[in-house]
């Protein structure tokens, strides 16, 4: 059962802990509500300053109070420890906090949040809000029912309340919960009244992306009464350990000078990987290349919901210089909107969903134009098979026909058909003029 709400009193400070190894939680520092209640600051504890690491680049190991850069946010990496819209809705419905500040959301999110940070009411012991054991796979139907009630703001029983609380208030915008499958933690995402079977389509799209050379989070379709859900295995968990992770938005804001708006996009994320990737000149080059494939795949499959929270970075050995690794892709599926704009910046033409825009700054991904064009052709060859793949995944003919209007229509289908790799060859190197010293 969850710890009673009275364990946290309005106005109390909270304490941030690092729980990479949950059996050996380490105090990071103190959290305070600031900016007229619209943000949360962090001050590192002396012990963390002595033996810890910078949680993000805008939180260096210094004895000062780090303020949030924007209203409604927490400082640096702490912002990724809070729930998103769906998690906030669950907290509002089940816990009914007396005050709806970011501090309450950080506390009530519980112990199963994204990454390896935890929030405690104590500076001496890790005392998070405990949500109880995760529901098992056989509770998926019951979870779907109670999440539907919460979404519709309908009353729930005490048993349903316990089930929903144990399932957590994980982030995102649509109904989801945490669940245990074969001893591992998964996020289960439910049907939300979409005009198509979005959960099954997400599973089909993610497995199609894998064929394009994109590392994806493992997915499983979950059959429920009259509908499907999709389970996504957590990539921020490794056995009994938790992996420190940042959203792309947090990582890019951290390197933006104070007072400037961050540029949130694929080329900017590629440049961050170039500098801070797992191995300079090695693994980071391949991850930049994969990020380019992800961008092209998202454009061609009509996934325009590729915002800053739908890309993540994992810390590899955070105590050793905090190198960053591109997390597996997730939340990849057609939005079926035809809006022609990505959420993330693509290239020189901003967020335009075009292959020419994707090619425009290929060099920022470490690619010469010939190689970038080959990568585009590789993704096109996979997307050309999308219908057969979706049929094999069980997507209905009606849903495929609906998606085809965008994926195979104008302008996306035309871009696939008209792309010519040879037209994007790199210019031949200019021959150096001779000199009298060459004689």
**pLDDT tens-place string over residues 389-417:** 999 999 999 999 999 999 999 999 999 99
Tens digit of each residue's pLDDT (9 = 90 or more) over 299-314 = 999 999 999 999 999 9
What is the predicted pLDDT for the residue at 90? 87
What is the predicted pLDDT for the residue at 130? 77
pLDDT greater than 70 at residue 234: yes
Cα angle, residue 168 at apex, residues 232 and 344 outer, rounded to 5°: 50
User: How far out from the chain centre does Cα 243 lie?
Assistant: 14
What is the predicted pLDDT for the residue at 321? 60
User: How far out from the chain centre does Cα 395 lie?
Assistant: 25
Tell me how far apart the alpha carbons of residues 386 and 365 are, in angstroms, rounded to a whole number: 26
pTM above 0.75, yes or no: yes
Do 382 and 437 meet the contact criterion of CB atoms below 8 Å apart? no
Q: Which of 356, 366, 349, 365 is nearest to 423 (CA)?
A: 356
Please report which confidence band the pLDDT of residue 172 belongs to, taking 50, 70 and 90 as the band edges. Answer: low
What is the predicted pLDDT for the residue at 160? 85
pLDDT greater than 50 at residue 3: no
Please report which confidence band the pLDDT of residue 169 belongs to, taking 50, 70 and 90 as the band edges. Answer: low
Name 180's Cβ contacts closer than 8 Å, sequence gap at least 6: 133, 134, 135, 136, 137, 186
What is the predicted pLDDT for the residue at 439? 40
Tens digit of each residue's pLDDT (9 = 90 or more) over 178-221 = 999 999 999 999 999 999 999 999 999 999 999 999 999 999 99
pLDDT greater than 90 at residue 381: yes
Helix (H, G, I), strand (E, B) or coil at 139: helix
pLDDT, greater one: 115 or 171: 115
Lowest mean pLDDT among 14-28, 214-228, 276-290: 276-290
Residue 138 burial (10 A CB sphere; 0-12, 13-18, 19+) = exposed
Tens digit of each residue's pLDDT (9 = 90 or more) over 320-330 = 666 899 999 99
Tens digit of each residue's pLDDT (9 = 90 or more) over 279-300 = 655 689 999 999 999 999 999 9
Q: Which domains does the chain have, with CATH numbers?
A: 5-120 (no CATH), 137-236 (3.30.200.120), 238-424 (1.10.1070.20)
Cα angle, residue 377 at apex, residues 302 and 311 outer, rounded to 5°: 45
pLDDT greater than 50 at residue 4: no
């Amino acid at each position: 059962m969850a710890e009673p709400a009275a364990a946290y009193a309005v106005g109390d400070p909270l304490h941030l802990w690092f729980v990479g190894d949950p059996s050996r939680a380490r105090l990071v520092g103190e959290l305070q509500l600031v900016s007229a209640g619209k943000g949360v600051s962090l001050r590192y504890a002396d012990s963390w300053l002595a033996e810890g690491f910078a949680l993000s680049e805008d939180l260096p190991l210094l004895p000062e109070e780090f303020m949030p850069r924007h209203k409604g946010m927490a400082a640096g990496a702490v912002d990724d420890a809070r729930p998103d819209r769906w998690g906030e809705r669950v907290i509002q419905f089940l816990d009914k906090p007396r005050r709806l500040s970011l501090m309450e959301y950080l506390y009530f999110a519980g112990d199963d949040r994204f990454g390896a940070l935890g929030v405690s009411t104590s500076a001496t012991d890790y005392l998070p809000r405990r949500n109880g054991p995760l529901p098992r796979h056989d509770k998926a139907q019951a979870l779907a029912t109670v999440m539907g009630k919460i979404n519709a703001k309908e009353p729930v029983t005490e048993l349903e309340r316990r089930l929903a609380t144990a399932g957590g208030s994980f982030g995102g915008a649509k109904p989801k919960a945490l669940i245990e499958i074969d001893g591992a933690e998964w996020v289960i995402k439910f049907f939300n009244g979409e005009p198509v079977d979005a959960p099954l389509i997400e599973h089909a799209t993610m497995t199609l992306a894998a064929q394009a050379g994109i590392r994806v989070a493992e997915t499983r379709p979950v059959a429920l009464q009259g509908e499907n859900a999709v389970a996504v295995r957590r990539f921020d968990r490794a056995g009994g350990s938790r992996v420190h992770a940042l959203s792309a938005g947090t990582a890019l804001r951290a390197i933006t000078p104070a007072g400037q708006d961050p540029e949130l996009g694929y080329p900017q994320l590629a440049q961050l990987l170039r500098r801070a990737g797992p191995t300079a000149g090695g693994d980071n080059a391949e991850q930049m290349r994969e990020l380019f494939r992800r961008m092209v795949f998202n454009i061609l499959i009509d996934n325009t919901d590729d915002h800053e929270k739908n890309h993540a970075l994992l810390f590899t050995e955070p105590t050793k210089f905090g190198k960053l690794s591109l997390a597996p892709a997730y939340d990849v599926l057609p939005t079926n909107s035809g809006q022609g704009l990505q959420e993330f910046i693509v290239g020189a033409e901003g967020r335009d969903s075009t292959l020419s825009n994707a090619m425009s700054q290929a060099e920022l991904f470490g690619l010469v134009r010939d190689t970038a064009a080959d990568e585009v052709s590789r993704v096109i060859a996979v997307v050309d098979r999308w219908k057969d793949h979706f049929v094999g995944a069980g997507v209905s003919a009606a849903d495929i026909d609906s998606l085809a209007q965008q994926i195979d229509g104008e302008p996306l289908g035309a871009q696939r058909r008209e792309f010519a790799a040879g037209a994007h060859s790199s210019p031949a190197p200019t021959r150096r003029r001779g000199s009298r010293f060459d004689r």
